Structure 1
């Protein structure tokens, strides 16, 4: 019987394989390429737009109706433009009946990605590559993680934020410091 030749694995080859496997794992975690094929749709109603209450029981039919509660008011609005990824939809800055504010994204359509945020900023909105990286240069307030890359959704503006200081909204990728899309806010 013949003896087979023993395969000798070189130590440097093992080291290279470990580095390649670790690099691939890190790359998958960091870039999360599968998100490009995953859509998350959110359909939130604007807060404070509930149906008017009916008259209390026992109210005479000829009684004057109760004053209607204050309704949300759009303070500023803008259309999203594309930056790093194709992005469209409408952005509204809305003052609610209690005086608080929300940023509302309506008809949002953008790519999904890692660590996407909604930022209220004072940066100018520029077309093309010139607008990709400007939003972290000045003042901005992160309103939280993007809830979904499609649909309509609301983001509460903290009470201590002066909304008059901000002129734009960005869908910001915090991991890669780039805007997916942004809207200039025009006062209503």
Structure 2
């Protein structure tokens, strides 16, 4: 019985640890937009919808390629809870198999874009994850489907 209680307390602490932190969010400030020409329908490579995991996460994610071959993740109507050490990862699944880090900065709400690293392979890295690195907690994820 004592082990069960300790296990439940450990899970509860992990969940609480990735709750909203006290760092003020920069509301209304977005990174510079990706070139407007990138968001043409013919440049859309893949898209998905965020699903909540441990924290409520919602919105759309799209992958576009510009005329120079550079790719970007476009977050639309995105929203997730804030937390310490949030990251954007791409992986083969929700369990971080063969993951790469896309960004160590996550806007918790709004429309914004993030450059996609060259090593991101859309045939393998089909999940976009919002991950709390400090506590190894998945906030939410989106599975990318080819356009």
TM-score by length of 2: 0.75
For structure 1, the 5+ residue unaligned runs are 1-30, 51-68, 124-133
Structure 1 window deviating more from structure 2 (35-44 vs 160-169): it is 35-44
CA separation in 1, counterparts of 2:119 and 2:102?
13
Q: Which has the larger radius of gyration?
A: 1
- 1:153 paired residue among 91, 112, 129: 112
CA separation in 2, counterparts of 1:147 and 1:102?
14
Task: Kindly provide the CA deviation profile for residues 19-54 of structure 1, in whole angstroms up to 9, marking residues without a partner as x.
Answer: xxxxxxxxxxxx48662684444435641216xxxx
Task: Kindly provide the CA deviation profile for residues 143-173 of structure 1, in whole angstroms up to 9, marking residues without a partner as x.
Answer: 1123320111212122233232211101011
Instruction: Describe how 1:31-180 pairs up with structure 2 within 5 A.
Output: 31=17, 35=21, 38-41=24-27, 42-44=29-31, 46-49=33-36, 71=40, 73-123=43-93, 134-136=94-96, 138-180=97-139
Maintained 8 Å contact 1:40/1:150: no
For structure 2, the 5+ residue unaligned runs are 1-16
Aligned CA distance change for structure 1 residues 34 and 83 (closer, same or farther; 3 Å) = closer
CA separation in 2, counterparts of 1:173 and 1:32?
7
Task: Kindly provide the CA deviation profile for residues 62-97 of structure 1, in whole angstroms up to 9, marking residues without a partner as x.
Answer: xxxxxxx99571111111011111111101111122
TM-score by length of 1: 0.60
Across the aligned residues of Structure 1 and Structure 2, the Cα RMSD in angstroms comes to: 2.8
CA separation in 2, counterparts of 1:70 and 1:109?
21
* 4+ runs deviating over 6 angstroms: none
How many pairs does the alignment contain?
130
Aligned CA distance change for structure 1 residues 151 and 121 (closer, same or farther; 3 Å) = same
CA separation in 2, counterparts of 1:171 and 1:70?
23
